[in-house]
Amino acid sequence: MQYRTLGRTGVQVSTLVLGAMNFGTIGRTTQDDATAIVDAALDAGINLIDTADMYSDGRSEEMVGKAIAGRRDDVVLATKATMPMGEDRNRRGSSRRWLVTALEDSLRRLDVDHVDLYQIHRWDPTTSDEETLSALTDLQRAGKIRYFGSSTFPAHRIVQAQWAARENHLSRYVTEQPSYSILQRGIEAHVLPVTEQYGLGVLVWSPLASGWLSGAVREGRAVTTNRSAFMPERFDTTIPSNRARLDAVEQLAKIAEQAGLTLIQLALGFVTTHPAVTSAIIGPRTLEHLHSQLAAADTALSADVLDAIDTVVAPGVDLAPQEKYDTPPSLLDPTLRRR
């Protein structure tokens, strides 16, 4: 396992991060499964675990808490807030009112007195940066969080938040967690140059593109990725963007084979090779999945392999732009374009 400094924090983290989104109902993972995965990941050298309050309605955090009991000091523990946690309209977002409550709920579920990295899961356009950053700064000063970061923020919002922290003499986001894979390279054009400029640690999610790059989606075979059960439209190859992804996967599989790598090694090695990326978040549902992804821990791609990948998916290109989560609200809601 390799380690890198998380932004400018001085904290050393593994280049593979154990993501716990599949713990609980989402991945049908039991507590015994989760504990076995966490134990194996830590034994392999992974030292950062990432979860969120909304994963399986809090169950993921509870399972992580039980799995790391007795090993808390070995773990850089990260969780997230802002996504809806129930029907109440104020149990979501990034207001001070909700973040203070959400963190207390997360600490209780995790059974810890602090988290190392607290992340704003999505940009909340209804809340000012000053409101959010002041709440996070106070939680940091209270010792309940060590650092805080953002997730899936558009580049301009990353810049705005950095400016707001400086302007209001508040602590700043030190990490960003964007979606990034060979099939979704859009952040190379805007987000990654900004994170490099501000010295942010970058923890990328979905490096296997929801299973497209795991080997679970191949030409002429039944789709076996778990996501296809509740997101069938993302794997329907009659949709042009999905057809483009499948064609790319077949070409990438040949590149991997010629390089003596699995498709998973190619995919994870690609994202961790980018100089702006600190770590890739993997989300195994089983020990078998974990071990297949751990095999990529020390994968280094040559320039020839990276050049070959560029011929399949060009730098800065998203093959499924409709699945991006950082699109400004004004492009999604027509009323915001016609005021």
Rounded Cα–Cα distance for residues 191 and 177 (Å) = 10
Q: Which two tokens stand for residue 164?
A: 């707001």
| Beta bridge partner(s), residue 24 | 29
Q: Which two tokens stand for residue 65?
A: 């808490």
Rounded Cα–Cα distance for residues 175 and 172 (Å) = 9
Strand pairing report for 76-81 and 115-120: parallel
Q: What is the DSSP letter of 24?
A: B
Please say if 325 is a catalytic residue. Answer: no
Q: Are 49 and 78 in contact (CB under 8 A)?
A: yes
Strand pairing report for 16-19 and 48-50: parallel
Please name the residues in contact with 173: beta carbons below 8 A apart, sequence gap of 6 or more: 120, 148, 149, 150, 158, 161, 162, 165, 200
Query: How far are the Cα atoms of 10, 127, 273, 330, 333 from residue 337, in angstroms, in the given order?
Result: 43, 20, 38, 6, 7
Q: With 0-12 CB in 10 A as exposed, 13-18 as middle and 19+ as buried, what is 153?
A: buried
261-264 long-range contacts (CB < 8 A, ≥24 apart) are: 261/299, 262/215, 262/292, 262/295, 262/296, 263/213, 263/214, 263/215, 264/208, 264/213, 264/214, 264/215, 264/292, 264/293, 264/295, 264/296
Q: Are 136 and 150 in contact (CB under 8 A)?
A: no
Catalytic residue among 55, 118, 173, 180: 55
Q: Are 279 and 204 in contact (CB under 8 A)?
A: yes
Q: Residues with catalytic annotation?
A: 55
